[in-house]
Structures are given as C-alpha cells and as structure tokens.
Structure 1
Amino acid sequence: MESSSPWKRFKEKVKVIGPGAIIAASFIGPGTVSTATEAGASFGYSLIWAIVFSVITTMFLQEMASRLGIVTGSGLGEAIRGQFERPVFKFGAVILIGFSVGMGCAAYMAGDLTGGALGVSLLTGIPQNYIAPVIGVVILILGLTGTYKRFEKILIGLVIVMSITFITTMLIVQPNLSEVFKGAFVPAIPDGSIVVIVALIGTTVVPYNLFMHASSAHERWKNPADIKKARMDILITIGVGGLITAAVIITAGTVVRGSDAAGIEALALALEPTLGEWASGFISIGMLAAGLSSAMASPLGAAYTIGGLTKWGTGFDNWKFKLIFSIIIGIGIVTSAIGFEPMQLILTAQALNGLILPIVAIFLLIVVNNKNAMGKYVNTAKLNIIGGIIVLIVGGLGIYSLVDAVSAFVNMV
C-alpha cells in the first residue's frame, strides 16, 4: 500500500485537470507558435521572461475568474451585468465587451484554421485552403453534437500532444541552459523587440478566457471547497501551457537564431539535421494540435462571453449558445476556404482586445470584491494589489497595441 501511495497522489492531482486545460489550449494557437518562433529566431532566449510574466499574470486572473464561477455558480458575464443598476451602464458594458470579444474571435478564426491546416499541408502538400474548411466543419459538428465534458477531454488531449511534440523537440536540440535561465529571469528588451514582447503577452493573456474559465469552472465544480482543486488545475495547466510556448522560443533560438527565414517551415527545415525525417512530422503535429485547440476554444470563448453578458445561457444544451458558436466557426470556415486574409479586421480586433483586457480585468476585480456575491471568498488585500498592478501593465500594453494597430492600418491604406 505504501509503494502505491505516490501513484495515488499523482492520479488525484491529474484528476483536477479540466477548465485550466481549456485556457491553455486556447492561448497556444498558431499565432502563439508563430510569434514564439519569431521571438527565438530574432532574439534568441532573451524574451523568455515575457512568457514567464504572461503565465504568472494569467494564473492570477484565471484564479479570480474560476473562484467567481465556483462560488457564485454563474459566469463573469452574468456577474458584470449584475454590477450595474442603470440600464445605460449595463447595456453599455454588454455591447462594448460583447462586440470586442466577438469580433476578435471571428477575426482570428481563419488564422486558427489555416494554422492548423499548415500542419497537414507540410506533410501532404495539400493546399491549406482545402484543409482548413474541413477542420472547421469537424469542429462545428463537435460543437453542435458535443458536451462540455467532451470538449474538455479533447482539449486536454491536444495540450498533451503539444507538450510531447514541442517540449521533446526542445530537449533534443540541447539548448544552453544557463542562457535559457538568464532569458527567463533577467528581463531584457533588445532593439526592435517591443512589438514581439507585446505580441507574446497578448497571445497569452486573453480577455475571453476569463469568461470561459468562470463558466467552465462552475460546470466542473459546484462547491467552494473545490477552489483548491481549481487552483491546482490552473498551476498545472497554465504552467504547462507557458512551458510549451517557451519551448518553441528555445527551439527556435537554438536552431534558427539569426536566420532570415524564421517561419514554421524554416524551423522544421532547421531541425532536420537533429531529428532527420521526424522533423517535419514533429512540427506538423504540433501545428495541427495548436490550430485545432485554438480553433475550438475561440468560438467557445465567444459563446461563453456573449451568452453570459446577454443572459442567453452558457451551456451546450442551450441553442443560443450553439448559435453563437456556429456563427464564429462559420466565419472561419468561409474565410479560410476562400483564402481571405482579413488583415484590417484582425488589426482592429487586436486593438480592441488589447484595450478590452484591462477593462475586463477591472470588472473582474470589482466582482470578486463583492461580498454579497462572494462572501468570505472575496479577494484579499494582497490579491487586489497584484490585480491593480496587472491592470496598469495590461492597460499600458493595450494603449501600445492600439497605437501600433492604427499605425499599421494607416500604412496599409
């Protein structure tokens, strides 16, 4: 019995994994992999600290969201509506947040599907705009016929696949560990890196994930005594998610640093001397898993956010919830099929999401300090201080994202 106790403890810890894995699957998409590859290729290991910061920030915000869902039995959208008595403020918040999140999810869908299709295209040579709609239709069918538990299991599986492929690849290339730890814990901002830093943080700390986590947490756990399980879930899954992103930076920083061609295809090519014929396979599987996970999570996040804000409902048994899911994934299917790259829309969505994150974070801080709703589970003073610092930082990043998006839009015109 004693020899089996460590294994039993391990299994108990694994059992808590659930809603946090959905969040990790959400932020590890093709955009994250591409940005991490660019970060490693251009700046080596020096920007790993941005992922460390992003992961810590995400853990704090997601803990508040999950605690809110477990204690109140409702989502963040419902909680935000309940904070306002005057209709003008209530509906103003609903329209602002719902529009921004919905537009952002729709704008990124084509990229998620196309990114996932790239993984298959690298191996088969089939054009991405043929594969992407098929992936989208599969996800649509899963959404219309599935349940929360099925989605949770699939996304946990995809996180495991990404962990195996990207982390194994990192270990095989044998990076310089002293430089890796320096990059992780000694912040540096090399010339020309600020845009990449903002992108790394922006792809990890995502507004709609807060809505999705609050709703999925109260679907998984019904008793405030389960908050400890939710925290363990967050530590494990968000930590693994950050490790996956860091692994891509480290791999790229090891094998393609300084290369003019720094895309996913270049990374696969550079790995061939080390991995041989397995190089393309590893990268392809990782990209397909990243595309699938993000493409499943984006419409799910939009449905949870808009469904909660409008009181339409946030369950898989609700037809309005499924309608929102279907509209978002449908946009991705159409745009990926015709090869449309909605750059202006994506730039606008990036700016809106960058600005909406501090607003959502402020609302989250307000509702988790509401004693009528949270009782003894309100934020501590320490958490409020940390939350305030996070709001200031993401607010600054949001303003920078807006300026950057406007500049890019002007240059395109």
Structure 2
Amino acid sequence: MAETTSTPIEETTPPAKGRWKVIGPGLVAAATGVGGADLVATLVAGQKFGYALLWACIVGTVMKIVLVEGVGRYTLATGNTMFHGWRSLGAWTSWYFAPYIIIWGFVYGAAGTSGVALPLGALFPSVDLKVWAIVAGLITFVMAWFGRYRFIEKLMSAMVLIMFLTVVGIATLSLPHLPEILTGLVPTLPEGSFVYVLSLAGGIGGTITLAAYGYWFREKGWHGPQWMNIMRWDNTVAYLVTGIFVISMLIIGGDLLYTANIAVRSSDAGLLDLAKVLEDRYGSTICTIYLIGFLAAAFSSILGVWNGVSLMFADYVGHLRHLDQDDPRVHVGGSYFRFYILWLTFPPMILHFLGKPTLLILSYGVLGALFMPFLGLTLLILLNTKHTPKPWRNGWFVNLLMGVISVLFVIICVNEIIGVFSK
C-alpha cells in the first residue's frame, strides 16, 4: 500500500492583525525544553564562573531560535511533519528514532516526574518524594489524556508567566551588581569552562521537544506558508522569554553562590540547595516564591513532553501504518497518542522504587546525546534539497549558522557520550 502521510492538510489563513493573540506553540516548545536539569546546569555555571558565561546563554538562545525556525519552516513550507522529513531521507532514520523514543520515554517518565516531586517535597515535606512523583505523573496523565491542545497551551503559557515572574523577579535583587553582570557579555573562556559553555550554548533546552514544535502549531491550525511570519514571531518571542529566564538563573547563581563559594549538587536536587541559600539570605517568603517558580518550570516540562512527544510517537506509528496526516489516530486524543501517554506514565513508576538500571541509563544517555546532531544535520539536508520548496530553502547565512550549530552539537554529543561511559 502506498504511503499517504505526505498529503498536506488544507491550508488556513492567518489573522490580518493581532499576532500577539495567536502566539503560543513557541512558548510550549521553549517551556518544555527548559527543565530542572537545564536550570541546574545554568546554576552550576554561575556558581563556578560567576557572570563570565552570560554570553554563552545569549548564543544558546540565538541557536535555538535558528534551529526551531528551521523546524517550523520545513513543516509550513511542505505541509509535512518532521518525522515525514526524516523518513524521506531513508529508513536509517527510523533505526535511530524508534529505540530512542521508546527508551527516552521510559527513563524520562521517571526523571521528569521526580523533578516535579522535588519542589513539592520542599513545599510539603510531610509527603514522601516517591508519592509526589507518582501524583505528578497521574495529574499529567489526566491532563494530557483529556486536554486538547488549546487547553495545554493556555495552561503552559500561565506556567511560563509564573516561571518568568518568580525567577526573573528574584534575579532583579542582584541589580546592584549590574556593571559586573554586564562584563559577562564579553566572550571569555575561564579555565575549565569549556564544558559549561557547550552546555549553555547548545545543551540548554536541547531535546526531542525542539522537533515537536511543528506538531504543536499544526494542532493549533497553522497550515501553509502564509503562516511563516506568525511562526517566526511566535518562535522568536518564546525563546527570548526563556532565554531571559535562563540568564536570570545564571545571574542568581553568580550572585548567591559564586561570591559566597557555595557549591550545589549537579542533579535536580541542586535547585533545592539554592532554595536554602535564598532562605538564608532573603527569608522564607522569597524561598517559597522561588520553589513555586521551580515547580512551574518542572511541571511545564513534563506536560509538554506528555503532549508533544506523544504526538511525535503517533506520527511515527502513522507512517508505519501508512495513514493520512489528518487521521484522528495521529492527533491529540487519538489511540496512538494515548498509547504513548500510557507508556510515559505507568511503566516508569517502577524506577521510583527500583532505581535506574545501568544499561538503560547508558542507552538513554547515548541516544539522547545523538539527538541534537541528528536534528541539526537532517535539517541542513532537508532545507537545502528538493525536500523543501525552493523559495523556503536556507540562504547562505542560515546555512552558516546551522552548520556551526551542527558542529557544536557533534562536539557536545562526543563530550556527553564520553561522560556517560566514564561514570
């Protein structure tokens, strides 16, 4: 039977005015990509090097804007999903994507809900963290199972607002150090900072959720090249907001931890270490506000994954079964979409009690490290060849940026794989 998933969905017309009212998928993608691990990486960079790596956060924000714009441009210009694009490059893409999305979902289902449990445990210490992790998974399951995209978008936009107001608000307490903070805009590489520069510039918010962007705006009803300007506006605004959020975490780390020579743990628990420092310096009210922001960031990440990566999985199965793109089974609420929600929620609960098997974690680390080079390099191919209509292919400058980004991702990949096997 011939594959029919390339059939474009009927194009829609963007509003003539009021672009602020239609943005949203970019916020969902950006908020999903910035989780507890990213915040800790930023915090530790601030703890070790003060404000010196501020420039790397800005570079990382620009990189994400360029990369996610490429995902959106391919989707709108062709009417196809990212997985269709990967599939058109050959069956080898499925050999990587299939084990990755299964293993990644199983491990992330436990790691993501554990990240939500940390601030809940700090706010309500009488309840065991395992209980909070399971409760977080169940609440997310219900929201993703029954919630349509517009509900998810509105809820996540509210959480982005909470994240922004709490963390950026706390960072403003460091404004007396503004002249010193601004010195971080000058690119420097303090001794031992290279790995942290890689993390800030390329790793923050860099996951499979970047590729989910096109699925979210398709669910919102953006179909056809006429939405290109709206998509670009949406993407830029979203990553600028989360870029400011990440910069604020670096400033907090530089102010509270670097100057006082206070170390925090490199796991998500490092964010709890920061809560104690905030309480000691500013009191319990500021500490509570920070924990609420931490909770909003962690919960928005898992809600975005339960929705967006489930859409990617549904599209993957739809391609295997040669289904049309408008088949309800590959959209929010469809049977394949809901199967992956089940996979994200219930099997990973075992890991809360049994720990994380070494082989599984090694596979997760290696496959995850490969994803960003996979995305960057495949986008370069798709956006420079017949896979994309000529008017919407990359220009030389975007190719230069994407090429640099892809090389950086390959370096990060090698570094992360070495780190996985050296543990």
- TM-score class, shorter-chain normalisation, is 0.7 to 0.9
Tell me if structure 2 keeps the 8 A contact 1:303–1:322: yes
Could you give the per-residue CA deviations for residues 317-357 of structure 1, whole angstroms, max 9, x where no partner exists? 32112211220232443423x27345663454233222232
Partner of 1:19: 25
Cα distance in 1 for residues equivalent to 2:135 and 2:153? 21
Q: Secondary structure at the match of 2:263?
A: coil
The answer to whether the 8 A contact 2:85-2:382 is kept is yes
Taking every aligned residue pair, what percent have the same amino acid on both sides?
A: 24
Q: Size of the alignment, in residue pairs?
A: 390
Mark the CA change 1:353 to 1:280 in structure 2 (over 3 Å): closer, same or farther. Answer: same
Match of 1:60 in 2: 66
* Unmatched tracts of structure 1, length 5 or more: 1-10, 85-89, 409-413
Indicate the residue corresponding to 1:4 in structure 2: none
Contact 2:34 2:205 in 1 (8 A): no
- Residue 328 of structure 1 is matched in structure 2 by 344
**1:233 — aligned with what?**
234
Which amino acid letter does the alignment assign opposite residue 135 of structure 2? Answer: V
Q: Is the 8 A contact 1:215 1:314 kept in 2?
A: no
Q: Determine which structure has the larger helix proportion and give its number.
A: 1
Deviations 1:206-234 (A, max 9, x none): 24123201222233312312111111111
Cα deviation, 1:170-191, whole Å, max 9, x if unaligned, reads 00233522232222x3233333
Q: Aligned partners of 1:372, 1:37: CA distance in 2, in Å?
A: 41
Correspondent of 2:46 among 7, 28, 40: 40
C-alpha change, 1:169 and 1:343, in structure 2 (3 Å) is: farther
Shift of 1:56: 0.9
- 1:29 corresponds in structure 2 to 35
1:143 is aligned to: 144
Partner of 1:363 in structure 2? 378
Q: Please, which of 302, 308, 319 is the counterpart of residue 315 of structure 2?
A: 308
State the partner residue of 1:215: 215
Q: Deviation at 1:301? A: 4.0
Task: Report the secondary structure of 1:311's partner residue.
Answer: helix
CA contact (8 A) 1:107 1:342 kept: no
Q: Which position in structure 2 is the counterpart of 1:6?
A: none
Unpaired stretches in structure 2, ≥5 consecutive residues: 1-16, 320-328
Q: Is the contact made by 1:133 and 1:334 (CA closer than 8 Å) also made in structure 2?
A: no
Paired amino acid for 1:259 = I
Change (3 A) 1:287 1:372: closer
Q: Look up the equivalent residue of 1:381 and give its one-letter code.
A: W
TM-score (normalised: structure 1): 0.87
Aligned counterpart, 1:106: 106
Distance 1:178 1:339, change over 3 A: farther
The CA deviation at 1:120 is 1.4
| Contact kept? 2:83, 2:316, Cα under 8 Å | yes
Superposed, which structure 2 residues align to 1:373-412 within 5 Å? 373-408=388-423
Alignment of 1:101-140 (within 5 A): 101-125=101-125, 126-140=127-141
Normalising by structure 2, report the TM-score: 0.85
| Alignment match, 1:272 | 279
Q: Name the residue aligned to 2:252.
A: 251
The AA in structure 2 aligned to 1:32 is: D
Per-residue CA deviation, residues 31-79 of structure 1 (Å, 9 max, x unaligned), is 1122222222222112222221211111101001011222222210012
**Whole-angstrom CA distance in 2 between matches of 1:325 and 1:354:** 23
Residue matched to 1:200: 200
Distance in 2 separating the partners of 1:331 and 1:245? 32
- Flag the 1:405–1:273 CA change in 2: closer, same or farther, 3 A: closer
What is the Cα deviation at residue 13 of structure 1?
Answer: 4.2
Question: 1:224-245: CA deviations, max 9, x gaps?
Answer: 1211111111111111111111
Mapped to 1, the partners of 2:241 and 2:357 lie a distance apart of 31
Alpha-carbon distance between aligned partners in 2 of 1:364 and 1:178, rounded to the nearest angstrom: 40
Contact 2:198/2:408 (<8 A) preserved:
no
- Hey, what does 1:179 align to over in structure 2? 180
> CA separation in 1, counterparts of 2:176 and 2:111?
30
CA 270–205 in structure 1, closer or farther in 2 if over 3 Å, else same = closer
**CA apart distance, 1:201:** 4.2
Q: Does the CA-based 8 Å contact 2:215-2:312 persist in structure 1?
A: no
* CA displacement at 1:382 relative to structure 2: 2.0
User: Aligned equivalents of 1:339 and 1:255: distance in 2?
Assistant: 36
Name 1:164's counterpart in structure 2. 165
> Could you say what the CA RMSD is over the residues aligned between the two structures, in angstroms?
2.3
CA contact (8 A) 1:43 1:193 kept: yes
Q: Deviations over 1:277-329 (max 9, x none)?
A: 21221221012112111112233343233333343564113211221122023
